[in-house]
Structure 1
Amino acid sequence: MSQITLDLNVSEIVTMLPQSADLFRNLRIDYCCGGKISLKEAAEQRGLDPHNVLTDVHEIEKKKELHQQMEPSDFGDKTLVTYIQEKYHAGLREELPLLAPYVTKVARVHGDTQPHLLRIQEIFKLLRAELIDHTDDEDQNVFPLILEFLENPTAELKEQLEPHVTELENEHDSAGRLLHELREITNNFTPPKEACGTYRLVYARLEEFEKDTFTHVHLENNVLFERVQKAM
């Protein structure tokens, strides 16, 4: 049973479920400076049905829980590739544009006094560009070749595939280094005590982004690419 109820403050809900911030933003419910009121009160102030808003929040929560329950390392080759594409590739394309305005806002408002926030913005921009290009290449070129090779591991396909896998692993290493720097300069994604709601939201979602990216890379490097290596 969900712990998220109409009596919880909006700010508490965003802390528990960072993705709910996008819903509140679209509904123009303040989860930052005015987030210390219950979801019921916040919805009513906007002329919304509180139960409908709560249902939307629970749908976001269920979607997150469903993905967490799966054991993708046991999937067949095609199912694993589809899972990576639908959860992580599509997830990146959805989350990164949504998170970008928050990162920009925090850097703009607080960057003068906290310059590490400007570096966070730089790292985020680098990761966004690199990971979108990276996943596009996988979807359009490398994954189809991997599936073809795993079904029919010929010497010709092996020769075509090897440099692609090496390049992808190098790109994973590059993303990993940026994520490690991000964790270091955010003090393990711990916001200052005086941080506003948007500041806290950025740290929470960056931490979740880090977690998802490392799981994503693990599935590719240690599961999918390992299957390719064993077939070579």
Structure 2
Amino acid sequence: MTAQLLDHTLGSLASRIPGATRVFHTFHLDFCCGGQKTLRQAALENGIDALQVEDQLLALSPDEPHQHDWHEASNAQLIEHLLERYHAAHRQQLPELIRLAARVEQVHGAREHCPRGLTDLLLSMQQELESHMQKEEQILFPMIKQGDHPLVGGPIAVMRYEHNQHGDALESIVILTDNMQPPSEACNTWRALYRGLHELRVDLMQHIHLENNLLFQRALDEEGLNR
């Protein structure tokens, strides 16, 4: 069982084991953009003891909060979930985070731990993510819903590439904010900003995971295309 678990991909473990994503967040393992890597490979690349991660996965209680199994959903149902749960959420999250970041930088810019440059980073991220979501909504998702589309591999490759860019942006946020840990002197606005950034990171990683490791892979498999 141990060898089998170590050789499963992060994406499949995140999909099949309730609570696995929480464990992966704890160990800073990328199960969305890096979802095709096995647990063994990802742990090795990050200097983490794979057996320790596995122990925590195996210790997860069957009573962990239920995570919907989207493997059972149709492509249309999964797309609707992505639109309602994640596309809509990101469009609400980022404007408020930009407002909070601008306020923190304006008021606390001289402080040592102020995340200077965060506002510009979030503005860039907002523009790139909005463009990305529009391409999915207007081009890729209709192609997947239609089915039997031999050209679906091209747009999927582009979306996966852009997902990697979103992952890089999240990593920049983690570095800039000391893993979203506010300093002891942080005001309420600063703390609210970091809570919101944590929520954005969790949501965006789950969003990318469902697309990369489930929806897109399923569409490629249906067309008999390679990853």
Residue of structure 2 in register with 1:76 after alignment: 74
Pair 1:207 & 2:207 matched: no
What amino acid is the match of 2:130?
Answer: I
Paired residues of 1:72 and 1:83 also in contact (CA < 8 A)? no
Residue of structure 1 in register with 2:159 after alignment: 168
Paired residues of 1:110 and 1:117 also in contact (CA < 8 A)? no
Pair 1:148 & 2:167 matched: no
Residue of structure 2 in register with 1:93 after alignment: 91
- Residues 117 and 138 from structure 1, CA distance in 2 versus in 1: closer, same or farther, beyond 3 angstroms? same
Q: 2:96 & 2:77 partners in 1: Cα distance?
A: 27
Residue of structure 1 in register with 2:54 after alignment: none
Residue of structure 1 in register with 2:207 after alignment: 216
- 1:176-195 equivalences under 5 Å are 176-195=167-186
Give ranges in structure 2 of 5+ residues lacking alignment.
1-64
Residue of structure 1 in register with 2:150 after alignment: 158
Q: Deviations over 1:106-143 (max 9, x none)?
A: 11111233475222222211111111111111111110
CA shift for structure 1 position 228 = 1.1
Paired residues of 1:134 and 1:168 also in contact (CA < 8 A)? yes
Paired residues of 2:104 and 2:114 also in contact (CA < 8 A)? no
Q: 1:83 & 1:68 partners in 2: Cα distance?
A: 16
- Residues 141 and 128 from structure 1, CA distance in 2 versus in 1: closer, same or farther, beyond 3 angstroms? same
Percent sequence identity is 30
Q: TM-score, normalised by structure 1?
A: 0.64
Give the total of aligned pairs: 159
What amino acid is the match of 1:175?
Answer: H
- Residues 68 and 100 from structure 1, CA distance in 2 versus in 1: closer, same or farther, beyond 3 angstroms? farther
What amino acid is the match of 1:158?
Answer: P
Greater mean alpha carbon deviation, residues 171-180 or residues 184-193: 184-193
Q: 1:187 & 1:100 partners in 2: Cα distance?
A: 18
Paired residues of 2:108 and 2:114 also in contact (CA < 8 A)? no
What amino acid is the match of 1:210?
Answer: R
Residue of structure 2 in register with 1:196 after alignment: 187
Q: TM-score, normalised by structure 2?
A: 0.66
- Residues 134 and 126 from structure 1, CA distance in 2 versus in 1: closer, same or farther, beyond 3 angstroms? same
Residue of structure 2 in register with 1:229 after alignment: 220
| Structure 1 runs of 4+ with >4 Å offset | none
- Residues 68 and 206 from structure 1, CA distance in 2 versus in 1: closer, same or farther, beyond 3 angstroms? farther
- Residues 135 and 172 from structure 1, CA distance in 2 versus in 1: closer, same or farther, beyond 3 angstroms? same
